[in-house]
């Protein structure tokens, strides 16, 4: 019989310790160690021989006949790298009400309509509640078999019996194993449930999608070891009050990471936005404080509008509010603007927002943020009243220089397609057509102001 013993696992970094301590030795965070029961195999008798596994050359490994299961949702398949891989384990996280259950139900409905065997396991809702949501998604979603169950042993038995090609578990925090004394959703339960589902999924060849909650900081809830256990981690982002949702791949063993998919929430469900740049550029303005960023999200160039507002204030210290970008990055750009570009906003509130609810984490967004703040500070538009908004990209260094970022040609090509060329950016050795090069942030601010003034005079 296997013996049970306890370990303490950090819910943030996954570090394991034999004894509890207030501070995690791995990440130095406080009060993050949770007790986890671990089953150990009994010791082998002296002289006993264990079965020795044999290795296999990779060229001799038999590949499956069909490597991907296409969900019929173009943006979801794009983020997954072409579709669901049989036997893979996908973790889908997002805030409550963001659309996790909707997109998984739509994907299973499309797979069922194409003749695939699917299964929807719900632990948060009853089968009647799931049907109420599926009625607005069409007949395909109503054809999906559903199982309302919270015991992981029963779920594993159902997967073994029905052998679905794709299965959604909504959510992994609601499942529990009676062998563990902790409550459902705890570190021990989530880790044990995910391990059990991974084992049955690999054995049956079922592509499993685990729906997970997120913490108040926006990270996927549960221990970090859960993210290491799965093959793909997807994060659904956006605000429930807005119609746009973004699906981002944080980890993908079968495709590119940092891939982004854009969806729009409508009455009939989530609708994939095939050309998000056209949506965001169409809503962009040429008012002071508005700039179009030529960003790269995975393998896709994306044009988004960056807006800034600079307002005098008597509050000390002044407020720095960032929506869609890192707040620490904003503080660094403000310091470089003040020191190297002559744009001092130390006595004013600064608000920066990426329109559409999109979050941008790449360093190529630095120049767009800086130009938007400079435009808002002086109250001068960077383009004429009837002209297109200014497009730009580039990383800002601490000494005020502009640094090269990857895929410049694809960024410029996307901007040219919508008539936004020339694009302001850093110096490139072999500069493509449509790029207005600027070696420093001060030069970029001056070039943008000249273009705006010339456009106003022409208007």
We report the CATH number of the domain holding residue 440 as 3.30.230.10
Question: pTM for this structure?
Answer: 0.79
Of 225, 234, 214, 135, nearest to 173 by C-alpha is 214
Instruction: Please indicate, yes or no, whether residues 365 and 385 belong to a single structural domain of this protein.
Output: yes
Does 215 reside within a domain? Answer: yes
User: What does the pLDDT average to over 265-275?
Assistant: 86
Angle at which helices 327-340 and 366-378 pack, to 10 degrees? 60
User: What does the pLDDT average to over 346-370?
Assistant: 93
Of 242, 274, 306, the domain-final residue: 274
Number of domain units in the chain? 3
What pLDDT is attached to residue 386? 53
**Separation between Cα atoms, residue 400 and residue 367, nearest integer Å:** 11
Instruction: Please indicate, yes or no, whether residues 149 and 227 belong to a single structural domain of this protein.
Output: yes
Instruction: Please indicate, yes or no, whether residues 269 and 298 belong to a single structural domain of this protein.
Output: no
Does 171 reside within a domain? Answer: yes
User: What does the pLDDT average to over 329-351?
Assistant: 95
Of 274, 300, 323, the domain-final residue: 274
Residue 206 has pLDDT above 90, yes or no: yes
Does 173 reside within a domain? Answer: yes
pLDDT per position as a tens digit, 423-436: 999 998 887 888 99
Instruction: Please indicate, yes or no, whether residues 208 and 345 belong to a single structural domain of this protein.
Output: no
Q: Strands (DSSP E) along 253-355, which ranges?
A: 260-266, 269-272, 290-297, 300-312, 320-323, 348-354
Residue 41 has pLDDT above 60, yes or no: no
Instruction: Please indicate, yes or no, whether residues 197 and 306 belong to a single structural domain of this protein.
Output: no
Instruction: Please indicate, yes or no, whether residues 244 and 333 belong to a single structural domain of this protein.
Output: no
As a whole-number percent, the residues of the chain with pLDDT over 90 amount to 50
Range of the domain at 128: 69-274
Does 90 reside within a domain? Answer: yes
pLDDT band at 385 (very low <50, low <70, confident <90, very high): very low
What pLDDT is attached to residue 1? 43
Find the angle CA(292)-CA(390)-CA(282) to the nearest 5 degrees.
55
Does 313 reside within a domain? Answer: yes
User: What does the pLDDT average to over 137-149?
Assistant: 91
Instruction: Please indicate, yes or no, whether residues 95 and 182 belong to a single structural domain of this protein.
Output: yes
pLDDT band at 455 (very low <50, low <70, confident <90, very high): low
Does 158 reside within a domain? Answer: yes
Of 274, 306, 341, the domain-final residue: 274
Q: How many residues does the chain have?
A: 459
Instruction: Please indicate, yes or no, whether residues 442 and 339 belong to a single structural domain of this protein.
Output: yes
Structure tokens at 141: 């979603």
What pLDDT is attached to residue 48? 54
User: What does the pLDDT average to over 283-299?
Assistant: 90
User: What does the pLDDT average to over 363-391?
Assistant: 87
Say which residue the tokens 């601490």 belong to.
398
Structure tokens at 207: 């592509």
Instruction: Please indicate, yes or no, whether residues 198 and 314 belong to a single structural domain of this protein.
Output: no
Of 182, 235, 175, nearest to 200 by C-alpha is 175
3-state secondary structure of 324: coil
What pLDDT is attached to residue 298? 81
pLDDT band at 158 (very low <50, low <70, confident <90, very high): very high
Provide the CATH number for the domain around residue 255.
3.40.50.300
Does 53 reside within a domain? Answer: no
Give every CB contact of residue 325 below 8 A, 6+ residues apart in sequence: 352, 354, 359, 360, 361, 365, 369
pLDDT band at 376 (very low <50, low <70, confident <90, very high): very high
Instruction: Please indicate, yes or no, whether residues 354 and 412 belong to a single structural domain of this protein.
Output: yes
Residue 39 has pLDDT above 70, yes or no: no
Give CA separation, 207 vs 104, 200, 211, 328, 362, in Å: 13, 10, 13, 39, 31
Instruction: Please indicate, yes or no, whether residues 248 and 376 belong to a single structural domain of this protein.
Output: no
Least confident of 60-64, 118-122, 360-364, 430-434: 60-64
Instruction: Please indicate, yes or no, whether residues 342 and 371 belong to a single structural domain of this protein.
Output: yes
Does 58 reside within a domain? Answer: no
* Residue 69 and residue 84 in contact, taking contact as beta carbons nearer than 8 Å: yes
């Amino acid at each position: 019989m296997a013996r049970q013993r306890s370990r303490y696992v950090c819910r943030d970094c996954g570090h394991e310790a034999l004894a509890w301590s207030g501070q995690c030795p791995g990440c130095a965070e406080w009060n993050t160690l949770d007790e986890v029961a671990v089953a150990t195999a009994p010791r082998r008798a002296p002289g006993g021989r264990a079965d020795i596994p044999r290795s296999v050359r990779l060229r001799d490994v038999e590949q499956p006949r069909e490597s991907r299961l296409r969900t019929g949702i173009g943006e979801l398949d794009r983020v997954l790298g072409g579709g669901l891989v049989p036997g893979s384990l996908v973790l889908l996280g997002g805030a409550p009400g963001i659309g996790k259950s909707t997109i998984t139900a739509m994907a299973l409905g499309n797979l069922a309509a194409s003749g695939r065997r699917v299964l929807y396991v719900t632990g948060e809702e009853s089968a009647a509640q799931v049907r109420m949501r599926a009625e607005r998604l069409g007949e395909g979603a109503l054809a999906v078999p559903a199982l309302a169950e919270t015991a992981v042993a029963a779920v594993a038995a159902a997967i073994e019996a029905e052998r679905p090609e794709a299965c959604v578990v909504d959510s992994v925090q609601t499942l529990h194993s009676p062998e563990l004394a902790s409550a459902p959703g705890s570190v021990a339960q989530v880790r044990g449930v995910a391990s059990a589902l991974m084992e049955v999924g690999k054995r049956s060849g079922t592509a499993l999608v685990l729906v997970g909650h997120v913490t108040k900081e926006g990270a996927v809830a549960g221990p970090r070891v859960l993210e290491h256990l799965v093959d793909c981690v997807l994060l659904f982002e956006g605000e429930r009050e807005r119609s746009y949702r973004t699906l981002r791949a944080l980890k993908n063993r079968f495709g590119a990471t940092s891939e982004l998919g854009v969806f729009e929430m409508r009455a009939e469900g989530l609708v994939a936005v095939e050309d998000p740049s056209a949506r965001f550029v169409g809503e962009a303005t040429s008012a002071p404080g508005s700039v179009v960023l030529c960003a790269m999200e995975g393998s896709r160039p994306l044009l988004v509008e960056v807006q800034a507002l600079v307002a005098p204030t008597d509050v000390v210290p002044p407020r720095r509010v960032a929506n869609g970008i890192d707040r620490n990055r904003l503080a660094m750009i403000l310091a470089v603007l003040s020191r190297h570009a002559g744009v001092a906003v130390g006595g004013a509130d600064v608000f920066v927002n990426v329109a559409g609810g999109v979050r941008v984490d790449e360093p190529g967004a630095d120049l767009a943020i800086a130009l938007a703040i400079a435009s808002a500070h002086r109250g001068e538009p960077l383009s004429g009243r009837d002209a297109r908004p200014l497009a730009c990209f580039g990383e800002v260094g601490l000494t005020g220089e502009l640094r090269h970022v990857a895929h410049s040609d694809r960024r410029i090509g996307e901007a040219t397609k919508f008539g936004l060329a020339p694009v302001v950016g850093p110096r490139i050795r072999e500069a493509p057509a449509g790029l207005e090069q600027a070696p420093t942030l001060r030069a970029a601010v001056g070039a943008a102001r000249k273009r705006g003034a010339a456009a106003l005079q022409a208007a």
